Amino acid sequence: MAEAPTLGLDAFCQRFLVWQDGAGKTYLSFNDLTALADRQQVPTSIALRVIDYRLGSVFGKALQAE
């Protein structure tokens, strides 16, 4: 955050979209933090990559548990 405080505007107001396709399969969509950093031309730190990985991992497992 010290290197790129504007990244917080996008990255830390994370929004999620849970939706189903016509066959009833459930999906979760959310912004990739590393893509947001790229868009703002901010280097992706290890911490940012870890947070991004954990978001995908936790919510991916939650959807598999259906």
Q: Tell me which amino acid residue 34 is.
A: T
Q: How far apart are CA 18 and CA 51, in angstroms?
A: 20
Predicted local distance difference test score (pLDDT) of residue 22:
96
In this prediction, residue 52 carries a pLDDT of: 84
Give this prediction's pTM.
Answer: 0.63
Instruction: Considering only the C-alpha atoms of the chain, give the largest distance between any 2 of them, rounded to a whole number of Å.
Output: 45
- Tens digit of each residue's pLDDT (9 = 90 or more) over 48-63: 888 888 888 887 777 7
In this predicted structure, the answer to whether residue 1 has a pLDDT above a threshold of 70 is: no
> Using an 8 Å Cβ cutoff, are 63 and 26 in contact?
yes
**What tokens were used for 48?**
């940012």
List the beta bridge partners of residue 29.
17
Span 20-42, pLDDT tens digits: 999 998 888 888 888 888 888 88
CB-based contact 55:30 (threshold 8 Å): yes
